[in-house]
Amino acid sequence: MNICLIIDDYLPDSIKIGAKMMHELAVEFVSRGYSVTVITPAPHLLKPSEITELEGVTVCRFRSGEIKNVSKVKRAINETLLSYYAWRAFKSYFKEHPQDLIVYYSPSIFWGSLVKRLKKLWNAPSYLIVRDFFPQWVIDNGLLSATSPITRYFRFFEALSYGAADTIGIQSPKNLAWFSETSPVKKPLDLLYNWAANEPVPSGSNEYRAALGLQDKVVYFYGGNIGHAQDMMNIVRLAIAMRNEDKAYFVLVGAGDEVELVRAAITEHHLSNMSLLPPVSQTVFKNMLSEFDIGLFSLHHDHTTHNFPGKLLGYMVQEKPILGSVNPDNDLQEVIEQANAGFVTVNSDDEALLANALKLLHDESLRTSMGTNAKQLLSDVFSVQAAANSILNTLRPTNTITISEGF
């Protein structure tokens, strides 16, 4: 069977968790004997297109405009053109290399027209992996009005993306229920958790601890998007509250629209217990994580959807206890705490977050046991094998939608 994966970012150059997840899914399909082709943009490509191979996966890159870490207007324009650029670059290739299944990843919401064309060309079913309900989270955070022309523009392409899917994979039971109740889209839905390959990096080098002077510290590590959706001041407030804890230190790695806000807060509050570092490669990220102690995450309080940050998968792989904050009623809290893999509080409950941070700071055995449980949770629920099985199961003629009752 030939499988086509479509995503707006891919390895080896990407630092995004989506790129890592999709590559691990591609490698899993290859390990089962399938032929896998990835379609992805490459803004810095000097020629219109390029075809390479990465761990048995054929990667078709096409030249596009910048879509990462640029202004919102520039990103919107360039993402709108993704389907057009992909078709223009690989039209002949698509005709000569028919595929049996199309799997595409959102974000971005702008793949709908390409997928629609490919389905017609190949007579192939399509599976949409939704990890981010855009533009809903932007509306929730007050960045866009629900009735603005810009929102209607995004809603058009969101509907086009959903319309091109035969099955839509959603990442948690509550998100699936929310989507079923609020979306006009009437497509088969699949409960598809995030996933990761169980490939930890051996710890012991302490290269990054030494570079940052953290040999005797308990390090709370955050890696990923530093943006409005994460409410990074939530983490800054925690660091401020813990500034008198000599052993506690916060390392934040990433990029996003709140980088300058965090940097200004570090300066304003003279935070000597926090470092803000630029994005790093996936390899460096895993090496850093292997040396540090606690995996940190934050979600904005005002979200109405229930995101499961992909960074948590990396924490689980490296057996790190998880500490974080979520929006109210997010089922991620239940998942983590039922597995005894960490502590999760509702964003805005600063006292509870601080209390949990202090528990992990002062109890090494608790950190170890929760890290072990986090690794088991990965194996039980969030494995790449389970994700591949879920997607392939939708190809069965008798397939019906199954919504899990638990974890």
Looking at residue 330, its pLDDT comes to 84
pLDDT of residue 217: 97
Q: Secondary structure of 152-217 in the HEC alphabet?
A: HHHHHHHHHHHHCCCEEEECCHHHHHHHHHHCCCCCCEEECCCCECCCCCCCCCCHHHHHHCCCCC
Residue 152: C-alpha distances to residues 71, 136, 147, 155 (Å): 20, 11, 7, 5
Q: What's the pLDDT tens digit per position in 138-193?
A: 776 677 788 888 888 998 999 999 999 999 999 888 888 888 888 888 899 999 99
Give CA–CA dist 140/248, Å, rounded.
33
Domain 207-381 is of which CATH architecture? Answer: 3-Layer(aba) Sandwich (3.40)
- pTM metric for this prediction: 0.77
User: Strand pairing partners for 251?
Assistant: 221, 275
For 37, residues 6+ apart whose C-beta sits below 8 A from its C-beta are: 2, 3, 4, 5, 57, 58, 59, 60, 97, 99
Q: What are the pLDDT digits (tens) for 314-348?
A: 999 999 999 999 988 888 899 999 999 999 999 99
DSSP letter (8 states) at residue 299: -
Q: Do 2-197+383-393 and 207-381 agree at the fold level? A: yes
62 closest CA partner among 29, 31, 33, 94: 94
Enter the tokens of residue 223: 């890696």
Closest alpha carbon to 53 in 27, 82, 17, 86: 27
Q: Do residues 330 and 299 make contact, with C-beta atoms less than 8 angstroms apart?
A: yes
**Lookup: tokens for 350:** 């600063």
CATH of domain 2-197+383-393: 3.40.50.2000
Low-confidence stretches of the chain (pLDDT < 70) are 135, 137, 140-141, 204, 304-306, 397-407
- As a whole number of angstroms, the distance between CA 227 and CA 247 comes to 27
Domain residue spans of the chain:
2-197+383-393, 207-381
Prior bond of 12 cis (ω within 30°): yes
